[in-house]
Amino acid sequence: MYSLASHHSFGFTSFAQSFLTVNSSDDLHTQLTNLTDSRYYLLGEGSNTIFTENYQGTIIKPAFMGITLEDNDTHYLVKVGAGENWHKLVMWCMQHKIYGLENLALIPGSVGAAPIQNIGAYGVEIEQFIHQVEYYDLQQKQYQSLRAIDCEFGYRDSVFKTRLAGKVMITSVTLVIPKKWKGVTHYGELKQLSTPSATDIFNKVVEVRQSKLPDPAKIGNAGSFFKNPIITKALFEQLQRTWAAIPSYPVNTDKVKIPAAWLIDQLGFKGRRVGGIGCHPNHALVLTNDGSGTGEQLLELARDIQLAVSQEFSIRLENEVRLIGNKGPVFL
Ligand code: EPU
């Protein structure tokens, strides 16, 4: 049995049957050919996965490292190993005066995980910088790549969560970043900045995140626990009659996105606890583990929140984090 405590940021004391770190393409061929366990789970830095039980299978961790840089007159092309840390990449770009990723500063996790859930924050999503994603197809046993257009990116979604889920191991991600920089400052606290530089935006994002979101190194958490739900305008207008202040972001002509944190907050969940699991007092979308929490307690609190939101707002919240039980995904 292999302890997963240091491999996921929620901090449950879960175990897996075995753990395989893959560092290079040579490793990959031999190690995966020798893999006898048919049940496996691909894990990055474990900042968006919660092991609610002991996992009866093998954890495979892609640890491909390295950054290569090319450029032409208009763009930088940055190819990054899947095992690199996302925030370190953002800092590397800032140091090399390659600007554009600053809104995505301090997002926990690995580069290889970034396209899977199309990480996003403060008005920017990674999909706008993806040139292509390189991966190893675990069934066909061959290397392939997908251009951004074929990654089927959506809000916290991509083909790697749907059709290709669990079937491929992302080995590297190639980003294309325009040399002509234009800062994105339309979201939340960034609006206060007037004619900011990329460094000003980076610093502000770091400051806001550190003030609102708990540091996983200090208290177990996996960032936003639920996705922000996308609902019809008809339902939104109906809700506005009772909840005049309900916030929304436009999605298209028929749909709007609602901050799940606001819904949860209205129902008084901030600070609520089930054993060692809590709804964070500063941010209602973040569930935390004080170190003594259990998978059962987490599922209980998450289901309580889901039920209360559904009863009050007729909105079904979906988990944004991946919940893994003893045989694989757990559904709320
Ligand atoms: N709000 C509340 N109560 C709270 C917190 C927020 O009412 O306790 C309301 C406020 O009205 C606020 C709104 O919710 O304006 C949105 O809050 P926030 O700006 O913190 O963003 P979020 O929608 O909760 C999303 C992402 C975050 C990302 C931030 C910033 C999702 C699921 N989460 O959160 O991503 O950092 O926007 O762009 O889309 C993550 O994915 O793990 C993550 C942290």
CB-based contacts of 195, cutoff 8 Å, min separation 6: none
In percent, the amount of the chain with pLDDT more than 90 equals: 93
Are 185 and 103 spatial neighbours (Cβ–Cβ below 8 Å)?
Answer: no
Quick one: which atom of ligand 1 is closest to the CA of 224?
42
pLDDT band at 37 (very low <50, low <70, confident <90, very high): low
- Secondary structure string (H, E, C) spanning 200-232: HHHHHHHHHHHHHCCCCCCCEEEEECECCCEEE
Integer-rounded Cα Rg, in Å, for the chain is: 20
Q: How far is the CA of 44 from the centre of ligand 1 (A)?
A: 23
Distance (Å, whole) CA 256 – CA 233? 6
Are 122 and 190 spatial neighbours (Cβ–Cβ below 8 Å)?
Answer: yes
Pick the CATH number of 214-324 from 3.90.78.10, 1.10.1060.10, 3.30.1950.10, 1.20.120.140: 3.90.78.10
Backbone angles phi, psi at 49, to 5 degrees: -125, 135
Q: Is the CB of 247 under 6 A from ligand 1?
A: yes
Identified catalytic residue from 110, 125, 320, 322: 320
**234-255 average pLDDT score:** 97
3-state secondary structure (DSSP) of residue 10 = coil
Distance (Å, whole) CA 15 – CA 75? 44
Instruction: Give residue 25's pLDDT.
Output: 78
Q: Is the CB of 185 under 6 A from ligand 1?
A: no
Quick one: which atom of ligand 1 is closest to the CA of 270?
8
pLDDT band at 63 (very low <50, low <70, confident <90, very high): very high
Topology adopted by domain 67-205? 3.30.465
- pLDDT of 324 higher than 80: yes
DSSP per-residue codes, 95-112: HTT--S-GGGTT--SBTT
Q: Is the CB of 15 under 6 A from ligand 1?
A: no
**290-300 average pLDDT score:** 97
What are 130-155's pLDDT values in tens digits? Answer: 999 999 998 888 899 999 999 999 99
**Domain 2-62 carries which CATH code?**
3.30.43.10
Q: Is the CB of 122 under 6 A from ligand 1?
A: yes
Q: How far is the CA of 285 from the centre of ligand 1 (A)?
A: 7
**16-22 average pLDDT score:** 94
pLDDT band at 27 (very low <50, low <70, confident <90, very high): confident
Mean pLDDT computed over every residue of the chain = 96
**Bridge pairing between strands 40-42 and 55-62:** parallel
Domain ranges of the chain: 2-62, 67-205, 214-324
Instruction: Give residue 264's pLDDT.
Output: 98
Instruction: Give residue 60's pLDDT.
Output: 94
